[in-house]
Amino acid sequence: MQIKVMSNIKDVKRKMTKAQRAVIPKATYQSLNKTMARTYTFAVRKLTKATGIKQKELRQLVSKHKASIRFQEASIVVRHKAPNLIRFNARENKKGVSATSWGPRKTYEGAFIQGRTVFARKGQARLPLKSLYGAMPSRELLRQNIDKASATFGIKQFKIEFDRAVEYQLSRALK
């Protein structure tokens, strides 16, 4: 998922004075970074509810790229990888392993935990083994329309943060 917040800067520039136009690049990248941080938190919280994975584990699969004065684009990227079932609060019991993937706790019969991985046997024999995976955050992001909700949240937040950043940069420039 990549959320890109674009604004119609040309119309805004026409209405501004020369001093205000000078602070736009710095205010833009500052507001993009603040918006990206808040949108990141929003998306992680929504994804946690959708997948059943802890926020701590989910943050390892979601990365954020900050904007700079030259490259004025901030993005949030969710890795297209299904995490092992161990990341979904997996517990071993008599029947197998229970985990909270896709919401409520479910038991995977015949599975077992070895180290930091949940395995199941492919047949009756001791080997081969297969790893068990849970909900893929990037797929759930699209399935539950979290990407659209995050983009809407990001656009609203950018407008607020941009106004604040311009005011702050103007107050610094006039000192």
Q: CA-CA distance, 108 to 92, in Å (whole number)?
A: 10
pLDDT above 60 for 1: no
pLDDT, tens digit, 9 for 90 and up, residues 113-145? 999 999 999 989 999 999 999 999 999 999 999
pLDDT above 60 for 89: yes
pLDDT, tens digit, 9 for 90 and up, residues 40-65? 999 999 999 999 899 999 999 999 99
Query: Which two three-digit tokens encode residue 14?
Result: 């026409």
pLDDT above 70 for 12: no
pLDDT of residue 9: 59
What's CA 124's distance to the chain center, in Å?
40
Q: CA-CA distance, 43 to 29, in Å (whole number)?
A: 20
What residues does each domain of the chain span?
9-80+136-173, 85-131
